[in-house]
Structure 1
Amino acid sequence: MDDFSALLGGFQVALSWHNVGFMIVGVLLGIVVGVLPGLGGPNGVAILLPLTFGMDPTSAIILLSSIYWGALFGGAITSILFNIPGEAWSVATTFDGYPMAQEGRAGEALTAAFTASFIGAISGVLLITFVAPLVAKFALRFGPAEFFAVFLLTFCSFIGMGKDNRIKILVSLCIGFLLAGVGMDTISGDLRMTFDVAELMRGFDFLVVVIGLFGVSEIFLTVEEGLAFKGKKAAIDLKVVLRTWAGLPRYWATLIRSSIVGMWMGVTPGGAIAASFMGYGLAKRFSKRGDNFGKGEIEGVLAPETAAHAAGTAALLPMLALGIPGSATAAVLLGGLMIWGLQPGPMLFVEQKDFVWGLIASMYLGNVAGLLIVLATVPLFAAIMRIPFAIVAPIILVVCAIGAYTVGNSIFDIWLMLLFGVVGYVFKKLGFPLAPMVLALVLGDRAEDAFRQALLGSGGSLNVFWANGLVTTLVVLSAILLFWGPLSDLIGWAKGRGKSSGGASPSAAR
């Protein structure tokens, strides 16, 4: 009951005129971010984060989260009309969305995608509403050892459960740890890895790094690919919307299944990309029209969009309740909270109750606003894709440079931004994931502090990390997740080798 009252209070905060205005502006900016393939959710939030400096934290997070919701909606426009995924998790949407547009059913496909996105996002917000407070209350029992075990669990799960090459994930994490260690040691006060460069005394600023890794590197890649946009035209009228909505109840099982898949993948390191493909695969497996998938089946649009948006929203749960981001965008938002002097985690629900519930209320309102705005403005935002990228790219680079300079009013930060832009470009060309590096950069120093505080409290004894059932369980789970992926690969390789040997024996006998 207390949480329900707090949520109602959050709606009062979110429904103030200036916050509603920030919500609408954020959604519009987010749709632009989602429509342009050179940006995307994490990139757009990182680039536009400096806009929130000096704002009230509640209004700032409402603006940034609304940019995220808008980006989630905007990715479907390019996927369906141009066969170009605006977001990585929109790839599966192209399989049936673009064929529908080619058949003259673009309005139906877009309506289905936006509605599925809304359903998935709202399911993720419901999960946050009811589960995040319980997780936060439980986490109030945590000490330094328990928090380090949670951080360890996060890092190990990224390695063991990640879909990318595990060696590359490990390399990315290690580089993130190195970057997090630059600057002043928060416990001893010593300087580390500054190499007599005065600007490095404060370490690598999180915002400068992510603007370079995400925003600048994407521009480099897009310029290299020389994208030319040619797509289908679409107009959505009320008849198309109502007709599409009337047919959606028959797909209730797909929507529920994809929402559950998305929520699970959101709170684990699976992420929205894996969720979208899993949702699509399950829908094709259980659909009566599975053979028609890939040829313009509306269910093939509903499933990946629902799963991806449920995952993208649910990824904010561990960020709010434990201070551990579940996605790259959540990591950027986590950095923003820390810039505003807020410490994400269980104490946030105690010390900043109005902020937390105002944010959760804005998630409901932001998605409603996003659905209505995107349905009304599809032709306008689709036209943005026809602006030559030679015009768009310099504008984005200037915005990135302004954002980097704003952090510390230093030209040095602009050079760092360009350097990390090159690093991000090289990583993407070589297939190294950026999310683990960002995760380690955000959490590396916090994990180190928790580890050292736990050792100081125990007199240097490592027994503190299995001193009680809770911390022991977390450490054991970390070890299991760390080795789960490699063991699964080894078992699969052994089975495959056994089958090939078995298949070869009859011919050998002949």
Structure 2
Amino acid sequence: MDIIFTSLGAGLLQAFEPLNLFMIFAGCLAGLFVGCMPGLGSVNGVAILLPITFLVPPTAAIIFLAALYYGAMYGGAISSITLGIPGASTAVATVFDGRPMAQQGKADKALMAAAVASFIGGTVSVILFTLFAPPLAAFALKFGPQEEFALMVLAFATFIGLGGDDIPKTIFSILLGLVLAAVGFDIISGQPRLIFFDMVEFQRGIGFLVLAIGIYGIGEMLWTLESTNGQIAMHKVKVTWARIKANFGDIKYYINSTWLGSFLGFFVGTLPAAGATPASLMSYGLSKTFSKDPDSYGKGNIAGVAAPEAANNAASTGSMLPMITLGIPGSPTTAILLGGMVIWGLRPGPLLFTESPDFVWGLIGSMYVANFVTVLLNIAMIPLFIRVLAMPFSILTPIIFVLCVLGVYATTDRMFDTWIMLLIGVVGYLMRKLNYPVAPAVLAIVLGPLAERSMRQSLIGSQGDVMTFFERPISLTCLILAFALMSYPLVLKYMRKRKAGAGT
């Protein structure tokens, strides 16, 4: 333990060196703007700015990219709350309650909750990273395809409650998401499937951001225009120091959800190929499931903003753990970071701590500093973000539309995806109009491919024996919890009927 603290102290001193400190500020600031641009996200931001880092030493370069990753996780909440458009897939769950809070004149509260929860999630994950890196990495390796599939089922189970008591509509929404996620080529046979109207463009599948921006950008815009007859008056918010101070007092309302998101996000982030998006969606679902007032979720509950933001920041740090200790990227962004490390002549893996301790502990030290710098930048810029909401909706509507189109086209470089995004937006609007929850569909689009891959790997390995999911302790535990969560609304409904019958 003394060795850890000594090494961490040396890493912090390295992070405060002038060049490294400048790279932290530059990375955090760039990340905030990269994260809040719809469709861009941390993956594209790191990929675009990777060549710039070849001008500085390797340690400063990876510190800059890690700070950029951190800032992008924070920044994704900005457009989710102020415009209702997720800046990246990791910020989709933040839209669920962040946008309603902005429409109620509580945008500053939502932005503050996102910043504070992100800071707590980042801090918890960095501490866990520092203390338990090797054993946690070894535990993450125990997750085979069976455990991954069971974890995905658990995630679906947590979202059964998102449809309230209307479980059939929730299940329909999940199935719709799974169908859209299955478009393209079969992952085992390579045969095309669900190629609608024999259009070859569908062979590449439907991208997640195409669906997310369509549902939460175009769909929400159409719904808002219809529900208010185009006469939308955003509640004006005057941000003062007294109001900012009062917002800090709201921490007690979402601290439990923040702790949940922090630990869950870090753990899910350590799993290879999981990443921050499933972590944020699972955290939101669990926070709603265990809340004393689950019906308020989706209508402007501040805990619904804090839980996913804590999770995606914790997961961003967690995804670096298997990259550093095992050489296995935990997310698409860390895969790019891994490529950069190889270019710089570093070999990620168990020997990195002994062969390049200055680099490793300098990176860990920079995480503490970057977390603190990003929360300060975020809180300081809240008045700037609030000014977006002061714009008349007649001006804001075309801006949202243009951002949606540009975000999709810049990401995929295909006009076909832009048309699909507009079509999905209309579908999302109709689902809102018919009271179908859209959040479970988004969850299914994200987790569907992961669940399918792990399920089919498991069945191929066991020669079709379904019992393989019940023979392993971790997967069995996850499936039992999933069954309990799916049964909970039915049991609760039965108890209410019984109580009502006894009362009469």
How is 1:87-166 mapped onto 2 (pairs within 5 angstroms)?
88-89=96-97, 118-131=115-128, 137-159=138-160, 163=164, 165-166=166-167
Alignment partner of 1:55 out of 49, 59, 64: 49
2:19 equivalent to 1:23: no
- Output the CA distance in 1 between the equivalents of 2:491 and 2:498: 10
TM-score calculated relative to the size of structure 1 = 0.66
Alignment partner of 1:412 out of 408, 411, 416: 416
How is 1:143-292 mapped onto 2 (pairs within 5 angstroms)?
143-159=144-160, 163=164, 165-195=166-196, 196-224=198-226, 225=228, 226-229=230-233, 231-232=235-236, 234=238, 236=240, 240=242, 244=245, 255-256=251-252, 258-264=254-260, 267=264, 269=282, 271=284
Q: Is the 8 A contact 1:19 1:62 kept in 2?
A: no
- Output the CA distance in 2 between the equivalents of 1:93 and 1:338: 32
Question: How many angstroms does 1:259 deviate by?
Answer: 0.8
Q: Is the 8 A contact 1:50 1:407 kept in 2?
A: no
- Output the CA distance in 1 between the equivalents of 2:145 and 2:408: 33
Question: How many angstroms does 1:116 deviate by?
Answer: 6.0
Describe the SS at the equivalent of 2:224. Answer: helix
- Output the CA distance in 1 between the equivalents of 2:292 and 2:377: 25
Q: Is the 8 A contact 1:152 1:475 kept in 2?
A: yes
Question: How many angstroms does 1:430 deviate by?
Answer: 2.3
Q: Which amino acid aligns with 2:125?
A: I
Aligned-pair identity (%)? 25
Question: Which residue pairs with 1:392 in the alignment?
Answer: 396
Question: How many angstroms does 1:454 deviate by?
Answer: 1.0
Describe the SS at the equivalent of 2:175. Answer: helix
- Are the structure 2 counterparts of residues 60 and 458 from structure 1 closer, same or farther at C-alpha, using a change threshold of 3 Å? same
Alignment partner of 2:441 out of 437, 441, 457: 437
- Output the CA distance in 1 between the equivalents of 2:374 and 2:454: 35
Question: Which residue pairs with 2:428 in the alignment?
Answer: 424
Q: Deviations over 1:314-342 (max 9, x none)?
A: 3554687589xxxxxxxxxx996499698
Q: Which amino acid aligns with 1:209?
A: L
- Are the structure 2 counterparts of residues 216 and 167 from structure 1 closer, same or farther at C-alpha, using a change threshold of 3 Å? same
Q: Deviations over 1:109-148 (max 9, x none)?
A: 96x8876665444333333334575765422111111111
Q: Is the 8 A contact 2:27 2:66 kept in 1?
A: no
Alignment partner of 2:465 out of 461, 466, 471: 461
- Output the CA distance in 2 between the equivalents of 1:319 and 1:154: 19
Q: How many residues align?
A: 420
Question: How many angstroms does 1:370 deviate by?
Answer: 1.0
Question: Which residue pairs with 2:273 in the alignment?
Answer: none
- Output the CA distance in 2 between the equivalents of 1:165 and 1:408: 36
Structure 1's unaligned 5+ residue stretches are 34-43, 76-85, 99-108, 282-302, 324-333, 502-510
2:465 equivalent to 1:447: no
Q: Is the 8 A contact 2:162 2:440 kept in 1?
A: no
Q: Which amino acid aligns with 1:215?
A: G
Describe the SS at the equivalent of 2:477. Answer: helix
- Output the CA distance in 2 between the equivalents of 1:50 and 1:146: 26
Question: How many angstroms does 1:464 deviate by?
Answer: 1.0
- Output the CA distance in 1 between the equivalents of 2:9 and 2:436: 40
- Output the CA distance in 2 between the equivalents of 1:217 and 1:473: 38
Describe the SS at the equivalent of 1:234. Answer: coil
- Output the CA distance in 2 between the equivalents of 1:3 and 1:432: 51
- Are the structure 2 counterparts of residues 22 and 161 from structure 1 closer, same or farther at C-alpha, using a change threshold of 3 Å? same
Q: Deviations over 1:390-420 (max 9, x none)?
A: 2222222222212222233222111111111
Question: Which residue pairs with 2:275 in the alignment?
Answer: none
Q: Which has more radius of gyration? A: 1
- Output the CA distance in 2 between the equivalents of 1:422 and 1:461: 42
Describe the SS at the equivalent of 1:189. Answer: coil
Describe the SS at the equivalent of 1:427. Answer: helix
- Output the CA distance in 2 between the equivalents of 1:461 and 1:277: 34
Question: How many angstroms does 1:475 deviate by?
Answer: 1.9
- Output the CA distance in 2 between the equivalents of 1:150 and 1:322: 17
Q: Is the 8 A contact 2:220 2:429 kept in 1?
A: yes
Q: Is the 8 A contact 2:77 2:111 kept in 1?
A: no
Describe the SS at the equivalent of 2:49. Answer: coil
Q: Is the 8 A contact 2:148 2:454 kept in 1?
A: yes
Deviates more, 1:46-55 or 1:422-431: 46-55
- Output the CA distance in 2 between the equivalents of 1:392 and 1:92: 16
Q: Which amino acid aligns with 1:20?
A: F
Q: Is the 8 A contact 1:148 1:447 kept in 2?
A: yes
- Output the CA distance in 2 between the equivalents of 1:462 and 1:151: 16
- Are the structure 2 counterparts of residues 166 and 316 from structure 1 closer, same or farther at C-alpha, using a change threshold of 3 Å? farther
Question: Which residue pairs with 2:76 in the alignment?
Answer: 68
- Are the structure 2 counterparts of residues 222 and 48 from structure 1 closer, same or farther at C-alpha, using a change threshold of 3 Å? farther
Alignment partner of 1:366 out of 370, 374, 393: 374
Question: How many angstroms does 1:183 deviate by?
Answer: 0.8
- Output the CA distance in 2 between the equivalents of 1:390 and 1:96: 18
Q: Is the 8 A contact 1:90 1:305 kept in 2?
A: yes
